[in-house]
Amino acid sequence: MIPRKFEYLAPTTLAQAVSFLRKYKDAKVLSGGMSLIPMMKLRLVSPQYIVDINNIKGLNYIKDGGRVVRIGALARHADIEHSPIIKKKLPLLAEAAPQIADMQVRNLGTFIGSLAHADPAADWPASILALDAELVAQGTGKRRIKAVKFFKGPFETALKPTEILVEAVIPVPSGPKVGQAYLKFERKAGDYATVGVAASAVLNQKNEVQSLGIGLTAVAPAPFKATEAEEILLGQRPTKDLIEKAAQAAADMSDPSSDLRGSAEYKREMAKVFTRRALNKAFERAGVSV
């Protein structure tokens, strides 16, 4: 199939792009197009206007801001996969990136575009939830949205129709002992996740959990931060028993649906298994064997 007829708009500034969104109510923003174009070809969506932001300069960046890393709207998955800044400061993202689809998709698809698309089985949302990121939306002005408040449901976010997601601001975990991990269970290489779990842990010199972030994808209508699981381990020295309780809490927070990737019961069990594995790996990388 081919898309229905649409008008192509190519702004050269953010202000112009936002003005197009304000003028044309039935408009979609195009950055990488790895989700939008296939959906248009299948006529799952048929916008009358496409606002292509690729001609706007200054949006393709990964910046080291010291305590934070800033990622711009046109940074590609492959940019994150190969970035020395990401590998050094946010290895969780470097581990997740090569697990996304295939090389062609990673070369064209964008980090921010994936977040804005909010596919409930996408990989990036779990990572930014675990890292307590903030997302910057550009409309008539700028506003910051915490990742935990950004994802509302399947393909639904806190973005307004007249806003463009332009940047992610991601805190760099710091402390005596830091460990991160992203684990994904998929039917075949490059597939969407059956479950994906991101974990970011900071421990003190006594091996007590100083801060912890756990994000899950593909096991609920929207990606979610497993706050109840985090609370079980915060302030504690990790043990097998506590990790098991945290993994169960994450599974209890999930709300999967049955589909071709498995039954709801199966996915909930996989949420438990992969949360346990992700926590064990994060603690191990922080230098703590459990």
Residues 69 and 43 in one domain: no
| pLDDT of res. 234 | 98
Does residue 260 belong to any structural domain of this protein?
Answer: yes
Phi-psi region of 56 (alpha: psi -120 to 50; beta: other; left: phi over 0): beta
Residues 135 and 228 in one domain: no
Does residue 2 belong to any structural domain of this protein?
Answer: no
- Six-digit token pair at 102? 């295939």
| pLDDT of res. 148 | 98
Q: 211 forms bridges with which residues in the sheet?
A: 202
Rounded-to-integer distance, Cα 20 and Cα 28, Å: 10
Do 164 and 113 form a contact (C-beta atoms < 8 A)?
no
Nearest-5° angle of CA 119, CA 201, CA 111?
Answer: 30
Cα–chain center distance at 176: 26
| pLDDT of res. 188 | 80
Residues 148 and 67 in one domain: yes
Rounded-to-integer distance, Cα 214 and Cα 6, Å: 41
Report the domain count for the chain: 3
Per the listing, tokens 């169960």 go with 248
- Six-digit token pair at 167? 């940047």
Does residue 251 belong to any structural domain of this protein?
Answer: yes
CATH of the domain at 231: 3.30.390.50
Does residue 66 belong to any structural domain of this protein?
Answer: yes
Does residue 290 belong to any structural domain of this protein?
Answer: no
Does residue 97 belong to any structural domain of this protein?
Answer: yes
pLDDT tens series, the chain, 290 aa: 789 999 999 999 999 999 999 999 999 999 999 999 999 999 999 999 999 999 999 999 999 999 999 999 999 999 999 999 999 999 999 999 999 998 999 999 999 999 999 999 999 999 999 999 999 999 999 999 999 999 999 999 999 999 999 999 999 999 999 999 999 999 887 788 999 999 999 999 999 999 999 999 999 999 999 999 999 999 999 999 999 999 999 999 999 999 988 999 999 999 999 999 999 999 999 999 88
SS3 123: coil
Residues 6 or more apart in contact with residue 78 via CB below 8 angstroms? 97, 103, 106, 107
Domain hosting 31: range is 7-52
